[in-house]
Amino acid sequence: MNWKFFALVSCLLFFSAREPASQGWGDWVVDWFTHLIWGEDEEPNREAEHVSPNLLASLSDVPASDTLTTLHGWPVLSLDVVGDLERGNRLEKSLTLVRNEAGPLPLDPATPVRLVYREGERPVQLVEMVRRFADVQEVAFTSDLVTALPHAEPMPTLVVVSDAPGVGTGSEWYIPLRSIDSLTLIHFGDPTLIDPPSSWNWINAPLRSRESETRIAQAIFGAAGLTGTLADGRGIRLRAIRGGFRTPEALGIDRFRFERIDNAINRAIRYGATPGAQLAVLKNGQVVYERSYGFHRYAKEEVVRVSDLYDLASITKAAATSLAVMKLYDEGRIDLDARVSTYLPEYRNKVVGNYRIDQLLTHHTGLQPGLPIYPYFNDDFIKDEFDPLHRLPLSATRWLDDRTPELLRHTLDQVAYTRRPEHRYSDVNYVLLQLIVEQISGQPLDVYVTKHFYDPMGLHRLAFRPLERFPIKQLIPTIVDRWMNRGELHGYVHDEGAAMMGGVAGHAGLFGNALDLGRLFQLLNDRGNYAGKQLISEKTVALFTARGPYNYRALGFDRLAGGYGSVVAAGASENTVGHTGFTGTCVWADPDNDMVFVFLTNRIHPDPANEKLLKYHTRSAIHRDVYHALRSYRSEDPA
């Protein structure tokens, strides 16, 4: 058989050598035999060979954390509020969705977007608002882009075009992109001056302004509607499906009433109650006020931006663990009457194994407040250098033994407890809930809540272990830790128990900004519905946010009725639920007034003994003033 194979190869080589100039019969046989043995080769992409590797690499990169940095709050400052409102209302009626063909709008905030514009014409307001919803890749147009885009990382691509003032040629630069399908054109100017391909989406605004850029950016993600038509009658109605940003006046709030709140926060900063702060207020699902104040530290080196992340401390209980339990309950995978040992057999015949799930949620167990972390405060478990056994970061200079979280889990059955179950605030309750969630779901708590809540809602700035995703300049520092000798905690969780759990714990460890935390708690006001999707059933939301069976708390949330009389007297509903955090944070969702209030600080920087924010009652005072601002504006009011 070998000699036959050799003869065949010799014949093929002979014929191929006789016809070097073109593909004759010999070449065809050689190709046929090669394909028979080795298979069909892919046709080389000659066009891609001419694309700049650097350009292609840049088009495949979305700098998520950097592009989300936002300094300015909402609403933007105005010298003529009434005039701006009138112009904005007129302009909004003229914004038109002319065509909606290419991956129909609105876009999903979970997907990054690409923004293409002409060099020197960066649409600042549009970019900044788009960043509130999605990660953004900005690209200044060059001729090379036409060749590169078809081979780049696929993502929704927005082409922003403006007509030059008084000239009909300002939009011509985009014409080479016509060869690419499925783009979205955002055009500011006369619609008769352009002719986008039929495969493109097309949004048209007669004028490029702050108001039109902001509104269109929201509409792209379904946070605002588009109702305009062109002169020839063309226009598609695009309705809003999720909350966005509205002027306070549009929802009956006089923005100047917030000046008192601004003054109170700045006064607290001036008196050393906190280096800085963030505030977000949502009404009817819309962000009506968002501000940042002060600095990261008292040294005043880095200003606080509205996009910066704070250590949310015990808000983690409500913003992560409680939501996870609600989701599992909704799916029939967890029973509130069941005992801990039902899901964690290792605690069978142990005291902690006998508590019910609803007792954990309402802190009605009597378990000791903190985790049993003291046995691990020694040189065997904590080192000043990273090594193969100590790989869990406690700070930039301290490392924890990898075994510690699991060892800590096995000592939870040794914690102190009261003879009979009673109301006693305890982190142990929520670590047990974390373990139950992870046992049932088969996923770590951070992965589970990100998958089911944060990602579907486009909440890019809620995260455990934030240094894995964000540059340190966007993270607010907390204490200078002398107890565990961790130094300044900057991007590392302050809570010692959460740190010893590896940074992800049921009671602490979540970082976030006021905007995304407010959006998350709006989910409760909306009875579990987000953008038309029922993430949690209405029945489950009602059950978990009502007063629980044991004490004043709800199932997984604190209730405003538990000791905030002045806020209730100012108009807050007794059905308001939320949580506070030791670091100086709070969030409250009021379903009856459809309002969410978020106030974040790092009051414990650099010393956790600083209680000035508590002494001045700053959180409750500004919360009360927000209610005083409701229904304070009427459109017929004079300027």
Give the pLDDT confidence of 8-38 residue by residue, as tens digits.
Answer: 444 444 444 444 444 444 444 445 444 444 4
Verify that 405 and 531 share a domain, yes or no.
yes
Domain of residue 561: give its range: 260-629
pLDDT at residue 88, rounded to an integer: 79
Is residue 251 domain-resident?
Answer: no
Which residue's entry shows tokens 């902001």?
214
Do residue 218 and residue 329 come from a single domain?
no
Pair 365, 329 in one domain: yes
Number of structural domains found in the chain: 3
Which of 215, 245, 275 terminates a domain? The answer is 245
> Which pLDDT value is given to residue 17?
42
CB-based contact 334:328 (threshold 8 Å): yes
* H/E stretch holding 448: helix 445-449
> Considering the domain boundaries, does residue 634 fall inside one?
no
245, 271, 288 - which closes a domain: 245
Check whether residue 200 and residue 159 sit in a common domain: yes
Here the CATH number for the domain that contains residue 79 is 3.40.50.1700
- pLDDT, residue 633, reads 86
- Residues 477, 381, single domain; the answer is yes
Q: Which of 212, 245, 278 is the C-terminal boundary of a domain?
A: 245
3-state secondary structure of 560: helix
Residue 87: what pLDDT?
A: 80
Instruction: Please give the share of the chain, as a percent, with pLDDT higher than 70.
Output: 89
CA distance 141 to 599: 40
pLDDT at 323: 98
pLDDT recorded at residue 2: 52
- Give the pLDDT score at 11: 47
Strands 487-488 and 480-481 come out as: antiparallel
Is 364 in the same domain as 488?
Answer: yes
- For 147, residues 6+ apart whose C-beta sits below 8 A from its C-beta are 47, 50, 51
Same domain, 164 and 110: yes
Does 638 map to a domain? Answer: no
Describe the crossing of helices 210-220 and 81-92 by its angle, rounded to 10 degrees: 50
Q: What's residue 66's pLDDT?
A: 54
Residues of the chain predicted below pLDDT 50? 1, 4-30, 32-46, 67, 166-168, 637-639
Q: ∠ at Cα 286 (465, 269), nearest 5°? A: 60
Q: Is 274 inside any structural domain?
A: yes
Asked if residue 572 belongs to a domain, the reply is yes
What tens digit of pLDDT does each residue of 337-379 get?
Answer: 999 999 999 999 999 999 999 999 999 999 999 999 999 999 9
| Model pLDDT, residue 570 | 94
Q: What is residue 349's predicted lDDT score, i.e. its pLDDT?
A: 94
- Which CATH number does the domain housing residue 521 bear? 3.40.710.10
Q: Is residue 567 part of a domain?
A: yes
Q: Are 351 and 417 in contact (CB under 8 A)?
A: yes
Whole-angstrom CA distances from 328 to 240, 392, 452, 510, 540 are 29, 29, 11, 20, 10
Q: What is the pLDDT of residue 164?
A: 61
- pLDDT score, position 49: 58
Helices 618-629, 259-270: inter-axial angle, 10-degree rounding: 170
Same domain, 6 and 132: no
Q: Rounded mean pLDDT of the chain? A: 89
Report the b/e string of 526-552 with b at 16+ CB within 10 A: bbbebbeeebbbeebbebbbebbebee
For residues 268 and 302, state if they share a domain. yes
Same domain, 387 and 355: yes
Residue 31 and residue 66 in one domain: no
Q: Are 367 and 426 in contact (CB under 8 A)?
A: yes
Q: Answer whether residue 558 is part of any domain.
A: yes
Do 278 and 238 lie in one domain? The reply is: no
Annotate 354-414 with DSSP letters as a single string.
Answer: GSBHHHHHTTBS-B-SS---GGG-STTTEESS-BTTEEEESSSS-EEETTHHHHHHTTGGG
Q: Is residue 555 part of a domain?
A: yes
